[in-house]
């Protein structure tokens, strides 16, 4: 059954290791060359749709997704291993977009 990106954004992300709700998916990282989803993006606690609070996000690799259900996405995140918190890198953005 096909799934839309908007379908992902309504699901809660739950870590099965400790049962914590991490939030809802705000974005996806795609590998356009391979035609697959690389990771899901969940705003850090205290953020609401990209507003209010700091600019960090939790980037969860696709391989850490255990199950996608009707209402939730179950992920397995080991707390001893850090998951990439994304901060905007303006210099990197300019170089990626062909601007110097």
CATH of the domain at 41: 2.30.30.240
Q: What is the pLDDT of residue 21?
A: 94
Over its C-alpha atoms, the chain yields an Rg (Å, rounded) of: 14
In which domain, by residue range, is 61 found? 5-96
- Taking alpha carbons only, the member of 49, 42, 51, 52 closest to residue 77 is 42
Q: Is the pLDDT of residue 97 over 60?
A: no
CB 15 within 8 A of CB 76: yes
Number of domains in the chain: 1
pLDDT tens digit string along 36-88? 999 999 987 654 444 555 557 889 999 999 999 999 999 999 865 555 655 54
Q: Is the pLDDT of residue 8 over 70?
A: yes
- Taking alpha carbons only, the member of 65, 70, 60, 59 closest to residue 11 is 70
- Taking alpha carbons only, the member of 71, 4, 12 closest to residue 37 is 4
> How many C-beta atoms surround the C-beta of residue 14 within 10 A?
20
> How many C-beta atoms surround the C-beta of residue 73 within 10 A?
20
């Amino acid at each position: 059954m096909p799934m839309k990106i908007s379908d992902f954004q309504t699901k809660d992300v739950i870590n099965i290791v400790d049962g914590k709700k991490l939030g809802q998916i705000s974005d996806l990282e795609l590998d356009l060359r391979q035609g697959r989803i690389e990771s899901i993006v969940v705003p850090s606690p205290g953020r609401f749709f990209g507003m209010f609070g700091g600019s960090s996000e939790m980037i969860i690799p696709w391989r850490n997704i255990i199950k996608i259900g009707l209402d939730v996405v179950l992920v397995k995140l080991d707390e001893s291993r850090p998951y990439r918190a994304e901060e905007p890198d303006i210099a990197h953005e300019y170089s990626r977009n062909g601007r110097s």
